[in-house]
Structure 1
Amino acid sequence: MFIKNWLRLFSSLKKEKFSTMNVFIQKLNPITGANDWIVQNEDYDYHQEVARSAFADMLHDTERNQLYEQAIKAAIEKMHAVGKRANVLDIGTGTGLLSMMAAKHGADSIVACEAFKPMGECALKIIAINGFQDKIKVIPKRSTQLTVGDGGDIKERCNILVTEVFDTELIGEGALSTFNHAHKNLLEKDSIVVPTSATIYAQIVECPLAQNWNKIKDIFNDDGELLIRVPDSINNCLGSAAVHDIQLSQLPQSSFNTIISPLPVLRFDWSGKTPFIFERSTINTIKSEADGKAQVVFMWWDLQMDIEGKLILSCAPHWAHPLTKKKKNGVEIPWRDHWMQAVYYLPQEIIVKKDQEIHLISCHDEYSLWFNLTENLKITDVHYLNPVCECGLHVTFSRTRIGQMNDTRQRKKFLSLFDKHVNSNSVIIILSDGFYFGLTAAKLGAKKIYFTETNHMSRRILHDFINHNNLENVEVMSSLNQLKEIDFTEVTMILGEPYFISSILPWDNLLFVYLLKGMRKFLSNTVQIFPVKAVIKGIAVHFEHLWKIRSPLKTCEGFLMKHFDDLIEDSSNISDDNVEAQPLWEYPGIALTKETEIVSLDLVNVPETALKVNGSFFLHGNLDCNGIALWVEWHLDGTPKNIISTGPVSAVEVGQKINWDMYTRQGVWLFPSKAVKNIDYTFKFDFNEGSISFTSH
C-alpha cells in the first residue's frame, strides 16, 4: 500500500508538471487515521496564515468602521484646534484602513506599522490605489521594534494613536503591553488614543444548557436508576479558565436565569493617564436578584472611542445591548464574529437566594480573564487563582464535545440500543474516543467490554470512570495492536459512537470504518456492528451573517480593497478546503430547500470503490443562496428512532430558520450569494484514499 501510494503520487506529479514549488509532507488523514504523504505547495504554511488573516468579517462591521472614523476625525480636529500637528501612529494597520481614514480627515503625518509581511505589502498596494501613498508611511515591524529620532523609523513621537489590537477576551492579543510600550516610547505625553478606554461587563447566570459544555452528568436509565457515576476527580475539578467564545445572542433567553444583571467589573484606560496594570483583581459585592444556582459568567466589553465618551462601541448580546431599545426605529444590532461574547464557568456552583449578598471576583493577567464567586467575606488566596483543569477532561475535549457527552437525546438512543442488543453473552469492542457512555453496557449485563483509547488523557479519564464505578468486566486498550491479544471468536458486537478527537468535519468520524476494516478478517459473520449506516445530508441556506467571514470586501467605507480580496482568495485557494466546520446554531440561516440526502454509506459492508454522486439542490423562495450546510446521520441499528443526527434538531421548513444541534459542528461551504433556481453538486468518496470532496457548480 505504501509503494502504491508513492507511485500514485509520482504519477500525479507528472500530470502537474512538478516543480520546486511543490513538496512532499506528511499530514494526518482524519478519516483513515494514517499519516499520508501528500504533495503541497512549499509555501503552504505561509498561505494558510494569510488565509486565516481574512478578517473580512471585521471590515464588514460597518458600525466599528464608522465609530473608528468618527473618533479619528475628532482626534485630528482636536489637535488642530489647539494649534498642533496631527501626527498619527497606526499600530497593526492590516489593510491600512484606519490610516487612510486619518489621511482623509487631514492628519499631517501618518506612520503605520504591520509586522505580518504579506499584509504589510498588501497595505502598501491598497494605500497606493486609494491615492494616499505620499501621506502614509508603512513600516514592516512590530510597534515594539519601532525606533524614534533622527535616522529612526519615526522622526518624532506621535500625538494620536489608532489601533485595534483586541479579541473576544479584549486583552488576549497583548493590548496591555502594546499600549504600555507605545506610551513609553512612541507617543507624546498628552496624546489622544483611539479608542481611549474599555470596560468589561459580567452577568452571573444559572444556565444548565451552558453547564452542559463544562460538567459531565451522571448516567441514569429511563426509570431514574443510576447506572454510571461521574468520578470525584471530574466532579471536583475547578475546570479550565480558557475562554469559551460564542454568539451569546443566539442562546435562548429561556435557557438561563439571571442571578446578577450585567455590571461593569474591569476598566482599562488606554489613554496612558493612569499606569498600566498587568495583573489585577476587583471585587463587586452585590445582592442576588433571584433564587438559583450561580453557575456561569457571561462576559463582553465595550470601547469608548473618543475622549468625550460620545462614541461607544458595544459587544453586548442583544438583551443587554444599548441599541436594543432603538431597534424599533430600524437600528440593527451589529453582528460580529471577530469580537464575540464569552462564557466563563465558575469553579464551583453556588446556590443563592434572592437578595443574598455575594461577592464577584474578576481577575486578569496580561492576556486572559477569569472569575470566581464567594459568599464568604473572608476572601482567601484560592479565590484569585486561575482555575487549572486537573481531571484531564477540560484539556482533552472541546466544549462542544463535552456538551455532546451530555446530550440527553443521544444518551436515550444508545440506551435503547443497549436494552435491545446487550445481554450476558455480549463481548463488545468499542471503537471511539471518549465514549464513556459505553460503560453503561457493562452495567446492563455485558460479559466483557474492550475500549480502544489511544489518547493518553482520554484513557486516564476512562480508568477513573471504571474504578469509580467498580467495573470489573471492562478492559482498556492503549493501541489497536493490543486487540490482537483478545479472542475474537468471543466478540459479539463492534460499537462506535462514532467520535474521534482528530475529527474536524462531520464525516471525519468515518474513521470508525477504517478501524473496523483492520479487524474484519478476525470477526465471525454473526458479529453485530453498530452503527449500521451513515447518511450524509445537505441543505441550501441563506445565512444572515456567516457569509461575511469569506466574502470579498470590494470596498470598505469608500476605500478600494481589491488587493486584499485578491491576496486572501489566492492563499485560500491553495490552503483551504471548500467545506469548513462551524457550530451553525450560532449563525442564523433560512432554509432554501428541504433536507437533501447526498449519499448513504453501508458501514457493515462498505463498498471499497470510488463513489461519485451528482445531484441538485432545488431552491425555493426569493432569498439568495450563500452557503450549503452538510452533516451526517448515524443510523445505529436501522430503526428510525435510533438515528443520531449532527444536523437540524427539528423538521426543516423551507423559508424558516433552521434549528441546529448545539453539541456538534456542521460542515458548511460558503460562497457569494447566488440568485438561482438550483445548485448542482458533486460528491466524491474514495475509500482507498480516504478522501471526501464536495463541490457545487
Structure 2
Amino acid sequence: MFSRSLFLTHVYKNVIKMSVFVQKINPITGANDWVVQNEDYDFHQEVARSAFADMLHDSERNQLYEQALRAAINKKHAEGKKANVLDIGTGTGLLSMMAVRNGADSVTACEAFKPMSECALKIIALNGFEGKIKVIPKRSTDINVGEQGDMRERCNILVTEVFDTELIGEGALSTFQHAHKYLLEKDSIVVPESATIFAQVVECPLVQNWNKLKDIFNDDLELLLKVPDSIQNCAGSAAVHDVQLSQLSYNSFNTIASPIPVLRFDWSGQTPFIFERSTINTIKAECDGKAQAVFMWWELQMDTENKIVLSCAPVWAHPWTKLKGDVEIPWRDHWMQAIYYFPNDINVKKGQEVNLISCHDEYSLWFNLTHNLRITDSDYLNPVCSCGLHANFSRTRIGQMNDSRRNKKYLSLFEEQLNNNSCILVLGDGFYFALTAAKYGVKKMYFLETNTLSRRILLEFINFNGIKNVEVIPSLEKLNEIDLKEINCVLGEPYFTSSILQWDNLLFLYLLKGIKKLVSNDIQVFPQKVVIRAVAVHFKDLYKIRSPLGKCEGLLMKNFDQLIEESSNISDDTVEAHPLWEYPGFALSEVEEILEIDMAHPPESATERKGNIKIQSHMECNGIAVWSDWYPLNSPRFLISTGPISPITVGEKINWDMYTRQGVYLFSNKCKTNEIKYSFSLNFSNGHINFKCD
C-alpha cells in the first residue's frame, strides 16, 4: 500500500554485495538519507504494491468472470466454432486457467510486467495447465499477429480486467480499441461486454469538509478568520476521491437525486470507441438542499445477454440489498466508489429540474450541475485547482483543517495561554488556523513555511483578513537571520506535507531543536507532549491486502504468495497508513501506551520500548493499529487524537477519526494468541523509527 519513504534515485551498485544505495527523504528529520537496499528494490516495491492482490480475494468477481467466460465459450461452440481466448493483463493466470477448465480450445495470455508473467508460468504449471496456455510477456498493444508473430491468428473471445475505481483510469478505452482492431475477430465476444457508470447527487457537509475550507467562528459566532475568495471560489480538483462509501452513515447525506445511469461503455466493439464525451440528464430534486457532490460507482455487464452483472455500488444501492434486504455486500479495495465535487454548491428546491452533466476523457471523469436551460461551454470544463490548496494538500488534510472539534481545542488554548505579550513562532505546513491567535492581541507571530504553495496560501489569508502583526519566514536559513530572542512561544499542530504516518510529524522536534538556540530559555512549547498508542484489532476485511491466497477458486497460488511475501519483506515498511474509518475493525485489547515524549525535553539518544499487548477477545487478531495523541496542554481536555474519537471497548467496533490516516501493522495470517510482543525504537539522532510485532 503506502511507503513513508519517497524513492528518488539509484546512485550506484555495490558489485560485491549486489546492492544499491537508495536516497530517501526521512520525513522525521526532513533530511535525505542514503540507505543500502536490494539491487531489485524498485522491482520488489512494484510487486509488493499489489498487496497480496486483494482483488483475488474477491470471490464474487472471480466467480462472475468464470460464469461469463463459460457462457462465451459455450456460445462459440454452439456456433460450431473453436473458442480461442485472449487474456489481457493475465497477472497470476487465473482467468486463463478458468478458460481452459471451461473448454477453451486455445488460450493466449499477455502480461507486460516480467516478474508477474514469470510467476504466471509457474502457477500455470503448478495447476497442471502447462502447454495449454501461451504466455506472452508483452503489453497487448505490442503484440503482433501473423505467421511469425506472437499470435498466429486472431482470437474470438477476449477476457480482461483493466479497470480501476474510475473505471477507465487504467487505459481501458485504448486497450479495448486496439484489441478489436488488431487482435480479435469481427464477431468476438468480450468479457465483460459493457459497463455502466451510476451517479447519485447528494448534499453532504461531511464529505464537503474534504473539499472546501470553512470560515472560522468562535462560540459566540464572531468571525475570526475568513477564507479568501480565491480559495472559496476555486473549482477544486477533478482528481478522483476514492472512498468506501458503504462506511458513510446513511444519515450523513441527503439524496438530492437518486442513482441513475449516466455513461455506458460498450467493450464489445459493435459501436465506435469514444474517448471524450458528455451526457446531460435532466433530474428532479427529491428534497430541498444544496447539491454538493456526486457519489459514483459502476457496474460490469459480464455477458452478451446482460444476465451476469458485477456491481460496485455502495450498500444502500447494491442489487443484493434490493433483492435480499439487509445483506453483507462483497468487499473490494481494488474497486471502491468515488466522490466528485461540483465546482460550486447548487441550491435546489424539491421538484425543481436541474441538469446533471457527466463527462469523461480517455482516463478520467468529472461532473457538473446547472439550473440553466441553456448550457454553456464552461459547464463542461474539467475542474482545475486555481488556488493551490487542492494541489498542495490531500483530501484528508483539508478535512483536518475543517475539523471543528480540533479547532475548538486550539481556540481554548489561545484564549487561556496567549496574551498581548505573546510572541509566537508557528512551525508546520498549512496551520492557517493559528492566524486566529492574532485576533487575541498577541504581540507578534512568525510562521516558518518552507512549502512554497502553502506559503502562498498563508500570505493570501493574511492579506485577505488584514492581519498586520505576522511575518512569514520561507526557510530555516532566513530564520537564522532574524533576532528571535523575543519569541516566548513555539506553536504547532504539528503537521507537515512530507508526513505519511502520524509519528512522521515528529519533524516538529527536529525543527524545535535547531531553533531553541535562537530563542529564550523559558520558551513555552505547544504541543507539550505526544503519546504513541496502539491497540490489537480484528479487521473485518483490511487484512486481505496482506493475506496469502493459498487457493483461489480451487487453483493453487503458492508461487504468487511467495513472490509477494518476498517483495514485501524487501521493500515495505512494517507500518502502513490507512484511513481506518473506511475499514471496520474490532478492538481485541486495551489501548497500549508505547511511548510518551515531552516536547520541551525530548530524549537526546535512541529510545526503545518493549511490551506485550494482551488479547482479551476470542476474535482472531490480524493487525495492530497505531496512532499519535497530541496534547497542546498536558491535560486530557486538550487531547487532539489522530486515532479513535471515542473510548475503545474490547470486542466493539472502533470509531476512528475520519480526518487522519492511522498506522497499521498487518499480519499475513490471522493470529490466535493471548498476547502479542512488540518492540518500538526511535533514534533521535537520525530520526529512524522501527516498530515490530512478534
Summarize the alignment of residues 109-120 of structure 1 with structure 2, pairs less than 5 Å apart. 109-120=106-117
Q: Distance in 1 between matches of 2:128 and 2:443?
A: 77
Q: Report % sequence identity.
A: 70
The one of 398, 403, 408 equivalent to 2:399 is 403
- Partner-residue secondary structure (3-state), 1:489: coil
- Paired position in structure 2 for 1:233: 230
The one of 81, 87, 93 equivalent to 2:84 is 87
Q: Measure how far apart 1:422 and its partner are.
A: 1.3
Q: Deviations over 1:224-262 (max 9, x none)?
A: 100110000001100010000000000111110000000
Q: Measure how far apart 1:171 and its partner are.
A: 0.1
Write the letter of the residue equivalent to 1:617: I
Q: Measure how far apart 1:20 and its partner are.
A: 3.5
In the alignment, is the contact (CA less than 8 A) between 2:52 and 2:564 conserved in 1? no
In the alignment, is the contact (CA less than 8 A) between 1:327 and 1:333 conserved in 2? no
Q: Distance in 2 between matches of 1:439 and 1:340?
A: 37
- Paired position in structure 2 for 1:52: 49
- Paired position in structure 2 for 1:670: 666
- Paired position in structure 1 for 2:649: 653
Q: Distance in 1 between matches of 2:40 and 2:442?
A: 53
The one of 348, 353, 356 equivalent to 2:349 is 353
- Paired position in structure 2 for 1:600: 596
Q: Measure how far apart 1:332 and its partner are.
A: 3.0
- Partner-residue secondary structure (3-state), 2:637: coil
Count of aligned positions = 680
- Partner-residue secondary structure (3-state), 2:485: helix
- Partner-residue secondary structure (3-state), 1:655: coil
- Paired position in structure 1 for 2:38: 41
In the alignment, is the contact (CA less than 8 A) between 2:199 and 2:261 conserved in 1? yes
In the alignment, is the contact (CA less than 8 A) between 2:110 and 2:138 conserved in 1? yes
- Partner-residue secondary structure (3-state), 2:636: coil
The one of 152, 171, 176 equivalent to 1:174 is 171
- Paired position in structure 1 for 2:74: 77
More deviation, 687-696/63-72: 687-696
Q: TM-score, normalised by structure 1?
A: 0.97
The one of 146, 162, 166 equivalent to 2:159 is 162
The one of 446, 453, 466 equivalent to 1:450 is 446
Q: Deviations over 1:28-69 (max 9, x none)?
A: 100111111211222211110111123521000000000000
- Paired position in structure 2 for 1:380: 376
Q: Distance in 2 between matches of 1:674 and 1:402?
A: 36
Structure 1 stretches of 4+ with a deviation exceeding 3 A read 17-20, 325-329
The one of 296, 300, 323 equivalent to 1:299 is 296
Q: Deviations over 1:579-613 (max 9, x none)?
A: 00000000000110121111111111001121111
The one of 413, 418, 437 equivalent to 1:417 is 413
Q: Distance in 1 between matches of 2:201 and 2:414?
A: 39
Q: Distance in 2 between matches of 1:200 and 1:354?
A: 25
In the alignment, is the contact (CA less than 8 A) between 1:163 and 1:194 conserved in 2? yes
Q: Distance in 2 between matches of 1:277 and 1:489?
A: 65
Q: Measure how far apart 1:489 and its partner are.
A: 1.7
- Partner-residue secondary structure (3-state), 1:347: strand
Write the letter of the residue equivalent to 1:321: H
- Paired position in structure 1 for 2:488: 492
In the alignment, is the contact (CA less than 8 A) between 1:297 and 1:345 conserved in 2? yes
Q: Measure how far apart 1:328 and its partner are.
A: 5.4
- Paired position in structure 2 for 1:638: 634
Q: Measure how far apart 1:23 and its partner are.
A: 2.2
Q: Distance in 2 between matches of 1:55 and 1:565?
A: 7
In the alignment, is the contact (CA less than 8 A) between 1:76 and 1:107 conserved in 2? yes
Q: Distance in 2 between matches of 1:637 and 1:622?
A: 38
- Partner-residue secondary structure (3-state), 1:641: helix
- Paired position in structure 1 for 2:5: none
In the alignment, is the contact (CA less than 8 A) between 1:619 and 1:676 conserved in 2? yes
More deviation, 478-487/305-314: 478-487
- Paired position in structure 2 for 1:551: 547
In the alignment, is the contact (CA less than 8 A) between 2:302 and 2:309 conserved in 1? yes
- Paired position in structure 2 for 1:97: 94
Does 2:189 match 1:214?
A: no
- Paired position in structure 2 for 1:3: none
- Paired position in structure 1 for 2:316: 319
Write the letter of the residue equivalent to 1:284: N
In the alignment, is the contact (CA less than 8 A) between 2:28 and 2:506 conserved in 1? yes
In the alignment, is the contact (CA less than 8 A) between 1:163 and 1:195 conserved in 2? yes
Q: Deviations over 1:437-468 (max 9, x none)?
A: 01001121111111111111111111110110
Q: Deviations over 1:147-178 (max 9, x none)?
A: 11111111111000000000000000000000
Write the letter of the residue equivalent to 2:275: F
Q: Measure how far apart 1:674 and its partner are.
A: 0.6
The alignment's C-alpha RMSD in Å is: 1.1
- Paired position in structure 2 for 1:197: 194
The one of 266, 270, 284 equivalent to 1:269 is 266
Q: Measure how far apart 1:18 and its partner are.
A: 8.9
Q: Distance in 1 between matches of 2:324 and 2:559?
A: 36
In the alignment, is the contact (CA less than 8 A) between 2:589 and 2:617 conserved in 1? no
- Paired position in structure 1 for 2:131: 134
Does 2:340 match 1:340?
A: no
In the alignment, is the contact (CA less than 8 A) between 1:647 and 1:660 conserved in 2? yes
Does 2:15 match 1:30?
A: no
- Paired position in structure 2 for 1:11: none
Q: Distance in 2 between matches of 1:543 and 1:621?
A: 13
The one of 553, 564, 569 equivalent to 1:568 is 564
The one of 235, 251, 255 equivalent to 1:254 is 251
Write the letter of the residue equivalent to 2:350: K
- Partner-residue secondary structure (3-state), 2:124: helix
Write the letter of the residue equivalent to 2:608: K
Q: Measure how far apart 1:523 and its partner are.
A: 2.2
Write the letter of the residue equivalent to 2:107: I
Q: Distance in 2 between matches of 1:244 and 1:429?
A: 34
